[in-house]
Structure 1
């Protein structure tokens, strides 16, 4: 090797790198024998680059090819004395155990982060240390003073222990072996340089081991490196500015090249053009170079901007799409790609935003266009990936209705031996049963009772389901090996169905199934290194492990349309390039926070700064935007808020707009005009071809003979405020489907508290002390809640609320008992009208008979009782119950005079509130309420009276179960009512 000779070549941004690379190689070996090319060893940066280079070679017919190798595969060379590297998963599992001990000792350390997320970030840090050649002794040189946060002090102490532990380990990581192989190759070359040419092409040297290898190749007598996207328009002042501050400006697209050239002892002028080909648009490259100057030296824009010349020609190949939202952006991009297909132009969408890529693919599907997506589909989003994640998550918590039904409806469940049809039928019937009657957490008892109604078709299926539910129960902690084995058994059993024919299920079939099995087998093989885990931690591990899987497109992709990540774009060439998702946080992505090292600690230890990824992304952007025809695309807002344009797009637009004397304002307007064409087409495509008139506020008038002849007293308020609710529920017989995920809501709380009070009242011991009554009340409360509420947290909270009102309630009960005795407790009564024929029913919470023979009505309220104004206006329940008592509606007490009515609050302060039937100057007796009620019912038996939607809502924003049926939203409560006779 020669220390004073370095052969560094480069190609400008925007050229088809693989094609020009091959052309340069062929030109260099044009006058040599054909086999001379076969003696060349060509190291490339990615598998896609290698495939493309091979394709370009083969376009020229049969010929000898160079040895095409990958820089990343150097660590796999079988050098003597170096064992094979440890699988990354094994190392992550080992690190996770150390992290778990750290977080147990320091709960405040990255609180909220899972141990596997921390283990992955720790693995990345150790891998970076090995790749960059940072030894544990370098960490010992770091001095943290008391002014540093305790977090960083503890983190450094932990890293020193971990790094030393693995530094002494005989088993090598992939990164450490890569660097050791590179160092061994370099040492071998010092003694025996390779006789044949060695070339490294397409890599920027962003990793330490790769950079070291490139330096060694560049110093070989017959070695050379070829850099992609080298900026020839950078001035020396711009190159110098990359190291002008306390921190190197690693976020600049050319920073890695400056670092590499410094290590080689070269300057930018020493870099030679690999080929004489020029960039597609040299003027645009100059514009981009100036726009991407480091932020601290953007004052160079004024000084050098005049040298750019007219900007309209430089921006002629650029279009700018500024969409409203992500959907608008995706559809605009899809239209541009479809237009390229029509014109026979090769085109590519380059974006790091996978959600945008999927949206564009979905939009292209309407025209039957399948793009060649280089990234494929993440395994965790495929059917097998979702299935495995779902089962792992269900083992970590009680199985509720929503989880169970989601699993039963999964397309991979019960796919063995023609099980799918009967399985879906039983699933549908079980769902309706569980949603209406529960329980919230299905068990063997409830499923067995359901199966008994149709044993021929349900019994074996229900037995299979019961066995599965019991298998979901996981111990508090178990070995990772046990978790994996149970996960495998459960997944295969659920996929097979009642037949238990696991070999016939669809779980491990097709590309996604095979990839899922490969990753799960990988986890199984390394599970012995995972230690003890809880079910929740295991679910997190499975979720993170499956994220590494990708499923490639199996359908035939269109040859002219591609979707690339930013790295793949370096290996390809397209006539039309669309840079999508140009928003801050998307392109570039925000650097991931490092929980282990601060920025200063990284700089002092020789590690890379967080801005490195931003710089690599900036380099990809510079290459992509330098193509022949380019569309720059972003959306103004996402699902949450306004977005910020990508910093590079912002700089480019600001620079162009800031040079009006050179036509910048006109150039920018034309860019936006070319992009607006696609936005307008997207709007036209989304515009409905027909216009529907909004619905009118409904007031249906059904025939009198189908109108309800009986209502409970609690429904009278609904009849006053929202008659449409009565129409939909009582006439159309519509009922809202119960939620898939039941929750301890206000309705359940009211039912449970009423049960508690009913039991307490019926078993009340009048000789007991207040303390004994309180103890009895709490005993009943615990029994009822344990029986009726399956959520432990809700049990504790509601018991605490009962305990809070227990003394007040029991003292008030003693006072009530001193005045009278309860004679009606949760018993139904009714009163009939003759004109029209109608029955009003009621089930009072409690009616006491006082010593003087009169009645007192009590109503228990879990919330705030209605005010007197509300009672006078629409809450007629108590007044009507009083009128019913006077008419002998309740057999146990007969007709009685009502002495009074009270609300007893089962919450808050537990106060008792008497109803006076008076608000301001207005008053209303039970008999007056009864007369109003009779007139109200008579009115609704007139054919002309409609059941108006939202006639008098208490809150305009309140939602009802029948808003969708009435098409509320197309009208509002200020609209006129439009009556309609319905049959």
Structure 2
């Protein structure tokens, strides 16, 4: 057997290409004197990306055009299917298995269980079923890849001594694994795992007929079929095996530890040992394959990493290992450790490291499985116009076309205001209108949607009534959404939903011509983008599917789930820095490799057995435990960490929560000890640069604003309720009355405390003003008034329930209080308006005025929250009630004489606490004096603001200090000047 290895510090593909070209890997070590000899060579590599890179390496070695070997990626059977073998697509598999899961869940709902009254619940909604199907597909592929036998499933729970619910799961797995092959046979397809196995077996059968050297390189042989292919190649006279990163520095004790240690599956060399054992070789029989040029990576780094990542039982030899290495700082020469405060700082430091590498002319790559970090770095590199080749691509659901498709489904099947606006404002959603007409219509619809929620099914009518522009938009929008909207409220097959969705999507975009009417697939024209094609492909794949039936209301979430796992990638670019996942980076060589996201749970990912089998079941069933994947990740980590320059990065916090450093980070820093200080210092340079580049010059906080508009612009009219605001926060009155700024209502605004107050005021006005409180059936009349007015809140059922209960709570107290009062003449919801000294018009609405048998007047104001105290009223903090009395005295109320004596000023608290109703007088015999004094203070305040030099100060007299929640505090920059 000819089995070689390329050391981790050497460029794998460059070494492989050089040794094939110079004849080292040919039988006898001599290449035929034929310029086309390379065409007779067959090379198998783990990934298609590695295959493309190897082709480039051969061109580099030849220095120009040359014949190339036949280079194939192992496991890429999807790209070149075997003759007559159609591969089951992921979308079809998800739908078929999700249907099976829903049927199982329904059966469990009906099935009796041993424990009386117990119910076994399995998530069966459309998106839940698809997610469970994804996990089931992963398990099916794992079992098929590792060639376990589903027949061993029977009795597994008893053998593993597990809880009863696992028995329920295995019962389903027995059904699923019996049904699934039947479905595949019926449709004449095979799974991707089967296709890979078949291709490996076909390749193994062709080994003996190979016209030239046949080489398998870079594979760890973790799949049994691949392992058999490797063995067949190794046993062939023309065969060569080239292992990646085989640790030739490990001694016998280290290899023995991999046999015995419980954490051995997580070791970087665990897969290598299994493969070498399967080939029947001793580690010493693996021959090093020398690189054409030294890579510049000290062998001491390999020895350091080998020692640091030893299995746990072997770490007792660390002291001896340190002595053997000697210069630990030298072993880490070229390594930088970046421990950032958070992910944002980590991304900034990585971007700067990549920017530096570009300036130095280095080949640089970020290697990370952490997609959010990759996106942050890609965004940060735009600052320097550095092009990025990101192998991870973008999730389809996050692309413009994916977002639009999701919005179409959501809006057509009952989406809310946010979804409506997002759809209407999407750049690709033209609805057949030109940009100007669409913008006008969207502006009208946005005003329509800001405020109370529009009830289901009422959107079309509301748009038609919102103005000409909105009506014109509705004429396009509603027909566009109709194919999918007409399915609302009933169950439908996924295929039917997808076809209708595809037609609606095409109608919304209007730059797409609807393709196959049966599938709703779209033929791209001006929207010919990768993400739009991916959406159309998904519709086309789903169109024929009739296996899964779901409520139409589940379709938006189900479609979103079906988009997950679909990635849109741009074509590879040679003029860009690389962002790669660990698998894509395997076998690649870079001058500077940045390994990012080194936190537990990110790299490596936490082992997860999934919902279908426990760890004990997996072990007894004979498939690899999740820890095996950690070993593969560890091997990728070690290989990538052997670039001439390496930067390892992690964030101490993610999403505001503390993180735990990756086990490899912890091992390296613990083993190196003070020897890692220089590496930390090199990393600190990137952090310092990142912090400096984000530092902004100090800006002195602004002064508290007190604008002084010209007198002609100052308000000449105020409502009684605004006087307290003028006292407390004059700037707010300036913003509203001078600048004309009104707070923007939120989308689908939930009813507020103000709305509750309006409702209770209306109930009391009707109940008292119409004399219902005097009747013998006052309770029934109160309830009738409440029911009628609550009917105006059909868009807010929660408010109807809560406020209805509150009104029911106060009913008896209201009736009792009214019956205990002397007979009076009631005036309710009384409008008032009067010009006061200083040229200001003061207006308002008095909740209630009672004229008693003695002819005296009581002015009453209802409060649904805390009622103001006598002190607050007397100190001009709450002047509304005495100002209303002053307006009565000024003759502002028609039908009430100005000289009517005042009996009292009273607040009535309605359901503000445990007491249903509380009558709280704030003035009695002194009411007239308080009203006159309050009006005099208002006149002086108006005179103050008629002085051009006096400004409207922000937050002038906020009670109790106030909180930064005013409508205009952000405009006044209150947080800056108050806390600066």
Query: How far apart, CA to CA, are the structure 2 residues paired with 1:170 and 1:359?
Result: 42
Q: Indicate yes or no: 2:722 matched with 1:719.
A: no
* Structure 2 residue aligned with 1:981: none
1:378 and 1:547 in contact (8 A); partners too: yes
* Structure 2 residue aligned with 1:511: 530
Q: 1:154 to 1:267 in 2, by over 3 A?
A: farther
2:406 and 2:559 in contact (8 A); partners too: yes
Equivalent positions of 1:239-254 (< 5 A) are: 239-244=255-260, 247=262, 249-254=264-269
SS of 1:966's equivalent? coil
Per-residue deviation at 1:285?
A: 0.8
Query: How far apart, CA to CA, are the structure 1 residues paired with 2:691 and 2:404?
Result: 38
Equivalent positions of 1:41-80 (< 5 A) are: 41-59=42-60, 60=62, 61-73=64-76
1:352 and 1:565 in contact (8 A); partners too: yes
Query: How far apart, CA to CA, are the structure 2 residues paired with 1:797 and 1:215?
Result: 73
Per-residue deviation at 1:410?
A: 0.6
1:392 and 1:487 in contact (8 A); partners too: yes
Q: RMSD over aligned Cα, in angstroms?
A: 3.5
Q: Deviations over 1:158-191 (max 9, x none)?
A: 222222332454525414523762685499579x
Query: How far apart, CA to CA, are the structure 2 residues paired with 1:444 and 1:134?
Result: 57
Q: 1:110 to 1:794 in 2, by over 3 A?
A: same
Q: Deviations over 1:494-540 (max 9, x none)?
A: 11299999999867412322232223222224x223x2112343223
Q: Deviations over 1:369-393 (max 9, x none)?
A: 2122223333322211111122223
Which of 527, 546, 550 is the equivalent residue of 1:528?
Answer: 546
Per-residue deviation at 1:581?
A: 2.2
Query: How far apart, CA to CA, are the structure 1 residues paired with 2:386 and 2:622?
Result: 48
Which deviates more from structure 2 when the two are superposed, residues 755-764 or residues 630-639? 755-764
* Structure 1 residue aligned with 2:31: 31
Q: Deviations over 1:569-599 (max 9, x none)?
A: 1232111111122233322233446112111
SS of 2:861's equivalent? strand
Q: Indicate yes or no: 2:16 matched with 1:21.
A: yes
* Structure 2 residue aligned with 1:978: none
* TM-score normalized with structure 2 length: 0.88
Q: 1:214 to 1:791 in 2, by over 3 A?
A: farther
1:215 and 1:260 in contact (8 A); partners too: no
Per-residue deviation at 1:426?
A: 2.6
SS of 2:156's equivalent? coil
* Structure 2 residue aligned with 1:673: 681
Q: 1:622 to 1:923 in 2, by over 3 A?
A: farther
* Structure 2 residue aligned with 1:772: 780
* Structure 2 residue aligned with 1:365: 382
Q: How many residues align?
A: 941
Which of 594, 605, 613 is the equivalent residue of 1:597?
Answer: 613
Per-residue deviation at 1:125?
A: 0.8
Query: How far apart, CA to CA, are the structure 2 residues paired with 1:163 and 1:261?
Result: 33
Query: How far apart, CA to CA, are the structure 2 residues paired with 1:236 and 1:868?
Result: 90
1:461 and 1:498 in contact (8 A); partners too: no
Equivalent positions of 1:699-738 (< 5 A) are: 699-738=706-745
* Structure 2 residue aligned with 1:234: 250
Which of 570, 595, 607 is the equivalent residue of 1:553?
Answer: 570
* Structure 2 residue aligned with 1:562: 578
Which of 777, 799, 802 is the equivalent residue of 2:804?
Answer: 799
Q: 1:708 to 1:147 in 2, by over 3 A?
A: farther
Which of 6, 9, 15 is the equivalent residue of 1:11?
Answer: 6
1:182 and 1:209 in contact (8 A); partners too: no
Q: Deviations over 1:625-645 (max 9, x none)?
A: 111111222233334223332
* Structure 2 residue aligned with 1:94: 96
Per-residue deviation at 1:326?
A: 2.7
* Structure 1 residue aligned with 2:115: none
* Structure 2 residue aligned with 1:464: 476
2:512 and 2:522 in contact (8 A); partners too: no
* Structure 2 residue aligned with 1:661: none
* Structure 2 residue aligned with 1:936: 941
* Structure 1 residue aligned with 2:283: 268
Which of 596, 619, 631 is the equivalent residue of 1:580?
Answer: 596
Per-residue deviation at 1:76?
A: 8.2
Per-residue deviation at 1:971?
A: 0.8
Per-residue deviation at 1:762?
A: 4.5
2:249 and 2:303 in contact (8 A); partners too: yes
* Structure 2 residue aligned with 1:493: 507
Query: How far apart, CA to CA, are the structure 1 residues paired with 2:514 and 2:730?
Result: 53
Per-residue deviation at 1:77?
A: 7.8
* Structure 2 residue aligned with 1:324: 341
1:333 and 1:360 in contact (8 A); partners too: yes
Q: 1:870 to 1:217 in 2, by over 3 A?
A: farther
Q: Deviations over 1:853-912 (max 9, x none)?
A: 333344333334344554445223223323333444322434442334132315654622
1:900 and 1:914 in contact (8 A); partners too: no
Q: 1:741 to 1:893 in 2, by over 3 A?
A: same
1:868 and 1:915 in contact (8 A); partners too: no
Query: How far apart, CA to CA, are the structure 2 residues paired with 1:578 and 1:393?
Result: 40
Query: How far apart, CA to CA, are the structure 1 residues paired with 2:651 and 2:10?
Result: 28
2:431 and 2:476 in contact (8 A); partners too: no
* TM-score normalized with structure 1 length: 0.88
Q: Deviations over 1:378-436 (max 9, x none)?
A: 3322211111122223344x3333222211111101175x7223212332343245436
* Structure 2 residue aligned with 1:334: 351
Q: Indicate yes or no: 2:304 matched with 1:304.
A: no
* Structure 2 residue aligned with 1:863: 865
1:38 and 1:64 in contact (8 A); partners too: yes
Equivalent positions of 1:358-507 (< 5 A) are: 358-396=375-413, 398-414=414-430, 419-435=434-450, 439=454, 443-452=459-468, 459-468=471-480, 473=485, 474-496=488-510
Q: Indicate yes or no: 2:980 matched with 1:970.
A: no
* Structure 2 residue aligned with 1:294: 311
Q: 1:561 to 1:851 in 2, by over 3 A?
A: same
In structure 2, runs of 5+ residues without a counterpart are 110-118, 516-520
2:412 and 2:482 in contact (8 A); partners too: no
Q: 1:394 to 1:560 in 2, by over 3 A?
A: closer
Query: How far apart, CA to CA, are the structure 2 residues paired with 1:550 and 1:78?
Result: 21
1:130 and 1:175 in contact (8 A); partners too: no
* Structure 1 residue aligned with 2:964: 958
Query: How far apart, CA to CA, are the structure 1 residues paired with 2:629 and 2:323?
Result: 32
Q: 1:383 to 1:186 in 2, by over 3 A?
A: closer
Q: Indicate yes or no: 2:892 matched with 1:889.
A: yes
Which of 114, 130, 147 is the equivalent residue of 2:144?
Answer: 130
Query: How far apart, CA to CA, are the structure 2 residues paired with 1:256 and 1:868?
Result: 82
* Structure 2 residue aligned with 1:638: 654
Query: How far apart, CA to CA, are the structure 2 residues paired with 1:497 and 1:714?
Result: 53
Per-residue deviation at 1:114?
A: 1.8
Query: How far apart, CA to CA, are the structure 2 residues paired with 1:133 and 1:810?
Result: 80
Which deviates more from structure 2 when the two are superposed, residues 464-473 or residues 531-540? 464-473
Q: Deviations over 1:790-847 (max 9, x none)?
A: 133443343344344444444445545x6434322x231134322x222322212232
Q: Deviations over 1:456-488 (max 9, x none)?
A: x66533322344466664224211122112211
SS of 1:199's equivalent? strand
1:399 and 1:469 in contact (8 A); partners too: no
Query: How far apart, CA to CA, are the structure 2 residues paired with 1:844 and 1:70?
Result: 83
Q: Deviations over 1:898-932 (max 9, x none)?
A: 3341323156546222233289x999944443343
